[in-house]
Structure 1
Amino acid sequence: MAASEKGRPSLFWPLAAIVVPIASYLAKLSFIGRDKLPREGAFVLAPNHYTEFDPIIVALAVWRMHRLPRFMAKESLFRVPVVGWVLRNTGMVPVARTSSASAAKQTMTQSRELVEHGRGVIVYPEGTLTRDPELWPMRGKTGAVRLALAGDIPLIPMAHWGVQEIMPRYGKKISFWPPRKRVQIIVGDPIDLSDLRGRASEQAALTEATRRLMDAIAELLEQLRGEKAPAERWNPADHGQKETGRLDS
């Protein structure tokens, strides 16, 4: 059962009754460091991202670690009928897609609300599926660290491996057989941002914090895969690739 939180939306429970059994049929999760996710209080959880099925597995993992899985979601989705209602009633957090000043103000508001309600949020720091051909974490964006720094919230790296056996990157079909494919989950120690505290508006601080985060995620994934990640994160711009959307084959 997920830990109690102030203002907990009840819609989580009927959704969990549907999603958890299906996800549990598809994946057998094994955990390393599950006690590193706080059982109460605010947190920003930053996992790697290499298939479109990742959010289901990450949500199941967070649920199994006794917290409610809330994600950052595009602000435009909150205006879609039904979808927006579901997002709002499960406490999902809208991604600021406005001017820099407005985005900064929204980030501060979001951070205060996370702390006030003792909630956690899951943020994919890469912003999309990795472009790295070997599925290693690529260059990160600053959203996760911006949110953590703005509210002095623990920023926790996480890695998982095995979801590609359920659905490959950009795949359109889920593999239902054999069932319960092994997916490894590893949670790391919070990123040390003490020297960057109070600098959420400084680009240099955001860049450095993001580097630390992506390096930590890559190191966690190295443990699961038993091999070394590339020394430098994949940069889509260096390979003529778009930053968002599906990767053209």
Structure 2
Amino acid sequence: MLKPHFDETNREPAPRAYRALAAIARLVIPLRARTRWSGQQHIPTSGPAIVVANHISNVDPVLLGEFLIWNGRWPRFLGKASIWKVPVLGWIIAKADQIPVYRDSQRAAESLVHATEALDAGKLVAIYPEGTITADPDGWPMTGRRGAATLALASGAPVIPVVQVGADQILGGRHVSLRGLFGRRKDVSVTAGPPIDLTRYLGLEPTKQVLDEVTDLFLDTLTSMRAQVTGLTPPAGRFDLRQGRRVEQVTGPDE
């Protein structure tokens, strides 16, 4: 079913290219997905905020973006810089004021600088703590990177967890599959939870240990939410991409 125009629920200003993307998404998403939303009341209607979400598919930002835009906010996503090199798409997302992440380079810290600037301007920033699509064989959140924790502790902005289920049925998970683009529409749910309580970490020096604990808190929250939405029992360990298996140790590398 076609959603109302975003202007009916979103009063935030946004670049023209971003509004054009949203208008296209409004027409295309219903063709491939039946979306169900819950927890919209947890999305702040104004002011700086950080959304942390699980990452299960290449289509995640589209579905999460739709959820946030139609609930009053234009998110600034942090995404791998290689996307900006894709013809046309790279130009569009640059014009839409999204934030590239230059991993393993001298520019690696730039993304958090730009994200902090966006928060200082009262924007909502969306980030995937895992840093990439999960490699867990059952789609559970895997070990993360420290970028989201660093941003949260440095900014003091509220952190809203959002869990997506079903997006991997449209374009596959870590490995793209076009099979989901055909046949019947896929059921997708997007659920926001209350802000994550970071009180005990405020004022602490952001050591690796502290950042790892905050990262684990984000991932534990998303794992618990996914379990509640799906009715499934999460695994005892968390998948570690470096080791290629689930492990009890859940610390992550630097963003």
Task: Judge same fold: TM > 0.5, yes or no.
Answer: yes
- How does 1:120-199 map onto structure 2 within 5 Å? 120-169=124-173, 170-173=175-178, 174-179=180-185, 181-199=186-204
Residues 126 and 200 (structure 1 numbering): CA distance in 2 closer, same or farther, change over 3 Å?
farther
- Number of residue pairs aligned between Structure 1 and Structure 2: 238
Give the conservation status (yes or no) of the 8 Å contact 1:107–1:150: no
- TM-score in terms of structure 2 length: 0.82
- TM-score in terms of structure 1 length: 0.84
* 195-204 vs 30-39, which moves further: 195-204
Give the conservation status (yes or no) of the 8 Å contact 2:141–2:238: yes
Q: Displacement of 1:83 after TM fit?
A: 4.5
Residues 166 and 78 (structure 1 numbering): CA distance in 2 closer, same or farther, change over 3 Å?
closer
Q: Displacement of 1:214 after TM fit?
A: 0.2
List, as ranges, runs of 4+ consecutive aligned residues in structure 1 with deviation greater than 6 Å.
Answer: none
Whether 1:53 and 2:24 are equivalent positions in the alignment is no
Q: Displacement of 1:57 after TM fit?
A: 1.6
Give the conservation status (yes or no) of the 8 Å contact 2:239–2:245: no
Q: Displacement of 1:41 after TM fit?
A: 1.4
Deviations 1:59-104 (A, max 9, x none): 222222222133102345557775444233212122253668x755
Aligned partner of 2:11 in structure 1 is 4
Aligned residue among 192, 211, 217 for 2:216: 211
Deviations 1:28-65 (A, max 9, x none): 21122111111111211111112222222212222222
Aligned partner of 2:26 in structure 1 is 20
The answer for unaligned runs of 5 or more in structure 2 is: 1-5, 247-251
The answer for unaligned runs of 5 or more in structure 1 is: 244-249
CA RMSD of aligned residues (A): 2.6
Give the conservation status (yes or no) of the 8 Å contact 1:93–1:110: yes
Query: What is the rounded CA distance, in whole Å, between the counterparts of 1:60 and 1:172 in structure 2?
Result: 22
Equivalent position SS for 2:237? coil
Q: Displacement of 1:200 after TM fit?
A: 6.5
Query: What is the rounded CA distance, in whole Å, between the counterparts of 2:72 and 2:171 in structure 1?
Result: 25
